[in-house]
Amino acid sequence: NPTFSVGSKNFTAVAINTASKAGEWIQSKLGDFNSLQTKYSAQDLVTEVDKGAEKMIRNLIQTHFPQHSILGEEGVQPGPAASQLALQEMSGAEYLWIVDPLDGTTNFVHGFPFFSVSIALAHKGEVIVGVVYNPLFNELFVAEKGKGAYVKGKRMHVSQEARLLDSLIATGLPADRTGALPVNLLGLNALSSKVRNIRVAGSAALHLAYVAAGRLSGFWEIGLNSWDIAAGALLVTESGGTITDTEGNPYHLGVRNVMASNGLIHQEFHTELAHANALKITV
């Protein structure tokens, strides 16, 4: 794979190595963690494994790139407002690593085998490296800006479905479900007759990686944070797909309501999600 480097430093190699090490450690802790706590709401879980993985990732990145900034989920106060504020505060950094040490904590806690480590590097606000690692499948998804995306070393391409009716799509329940959400928030009922089927597997980063790999034709979710999306967004675009916010505007690090697809279905997907009233939280 091609590489990005400053002097002798290879960003992508560090991202890959870091995600692999953290992922392997997380895997070793599956079914063997001690502390389960809640954060912003009763449904927002964290374990010592989330925190330990983030610590490990921060240490590895800092060893290689002491000048770089790091935004990691477990280093930020819980809740959407604090997350957006932390991103804003760091958005001036020349190099910003955006880290979700364990995406799919609920799955990890229950032993449902679908979780990942997500690491992105942004240069002046633009993601240039994205790595998502699923340790249980030993699948490492990696993208470099302008240089394509790969899974286990093989080039990835988005799927070919041109109609929503032929498409397998995915979504997720927002982490913050404390407020009054519209009953049709997810639009699953309205959408179900328009698509082949819908999956809600519990790791936004892996859902995006699966869009990149052509295993899903589309994914949307409302109320995510930068660390859920940043790496996966580059995987999608470098695999030939499209990622926007749910109004169809270009993706940037501040986007929380996201739609990704193979590009071919993007317009139809957007239209049907809008019909289903599934594009925003209308509290």
Can you say which residues are annotated as belonging to the binding site for Mg(2+)?
A: 73, 100, 102-103, 228
- What's the Cα-to-Cα distance from 231 to each of 65, 149, 195, 225, 273, rounded to whole Å? 18, 11, 26, 12, 24
Give the nearest distance from C-beta 73 to ligand IPD in angstroms: 6
Binding residues for Ca ion (CB under 5 A) = 73, 100, 102-103, 228
Binding residues for ligand IPD (CB under 6 A) = 100, 103-105, 172-175, 202-204, 221, 224, 228
The residue behind tokens 């001036």 is: 92
Task: Between 100 and 238, name the residue whose CB sits nearer to ligand IPD.
Answer: 100
Q: Which does 174 bind (CB under 5 to 8 A by kind): Ca ion, ligand IPD, none?
A: ligand IPD
Q: Which does 236 bind (CB under 5 to 8 A by kind): Ca ion, ligand IPD, none?
A: none
CB-closest chain residue to Ca ion: 103
Give the nearest distance from C-beta 104 to ligand IPD in angstroms: 5
Task: Between 103 and 268, name the residue whose CB sits nearer to Ca ion.
Answer: 103
Q: Which does 265 bind (CB under 5 to 8 A by kind): Ca ion, ligand IPD, none?
A: none
Residue 183's Cβ-count burial label (10 Å; 0-12, 13-18, 19+) is exposed
Q: Which does 218 bind (CB under 5 to 8 A by kind): Ca ion, ligand IPD, none?
A: none
**188 phi, psi to nearest 5 deg:** -60, -40
CB-closest chain residue to ligand IPD: 172
Q: Which does 54 bind (CB under 5 to 8 A by kind): ligand IPD, Ca ion, none?
A: none
Give the nearest distance from C-beta 6 to ligand IPD in angstroms: 29
Task: Between 175 and 265, name the residue whose CB sits nearer to ligand IPD.
Answer: 175
Q: Which residues pair with 116 in a beta bridge?
A: 103
- 3 state SS of 9: strand
Task: Between 135 and 202, name the residue whose CB sits nearer to ligand IPD.
Answer: 202
Beta strands in 125-252 (DSSP E): 126-134, 139-144, 149-151, 154-155, 168-171, 197-199, 218-221, 242-245
Q: Which does 173 bind (CB under 5 to 8 A by kind): ligand IPD, Ca ion, none?
A: ligand IPD
Beta strands in 43-167 (DSSP E): 45-47, 69-72, 95-103, 116-123, 126-134, 139-144, 149-151, 154-155
Give the nearest distance from C-beta 230 to ligand IPD in angstroms: 12
Give the nearest distance from C-beta 201 to ligand IPD in angstroms: 7
- 3 state SS of 13: helix
The CA distance from 89 to 82, in Å, is: 10
Region at 90 (left for phi over 0; alpha for psi -120 to 50; beta for the rest)? alpha
